Amino acid sequence: AKKGLHPLLYRITVVGTKGGTFPIFSAVQQKGSKLFLQADQDTHSLWSGKKVVSAATGQVAKFKKRFDFLSGTTIGKKK
C-alpha cells in the first residue's frame, strides 16, 4: 500500500440553520472548523414540504419574459 495516498481528514462542526450542530470529517479544513448550512432538513422544501420563493425565481421569470420572442411558440404568429 502506498503511503500518503489518502488526504488528511479534519474534524469540523456543521451548524444547521436553527443552530443545531454535529461533527463530521472533511478533507477540507474550514476556517474556524465550522461549516454553516444555508439549507438543511428544517428549511429545505424537499423535507419541509413548504414551497420556498427565492430571488432566482423572479430572475427566471424576467429572463423568460425578456427572451420569449426567441422561443418557437411566438414565431410566425401575427400581432
pLDDT in tens, 41-51: 777 777 777 77
Q: Are strands 34-36 and 10-15 parallel, antiparallel or unpaired?
A: parallel
pLDDT, tens only, 31-74: 678 888 888 877 777 777 777 665 556 777 788 878 887 776 54
Can you give the pTM of this predicted structure? 0.50
The domain segmentation of the chain, as residue ranges, is 7-39
3-state secondary structure of 53: coil
- Closest of 44, 30, 35, 32 to residue 14, by C-alpha: 35
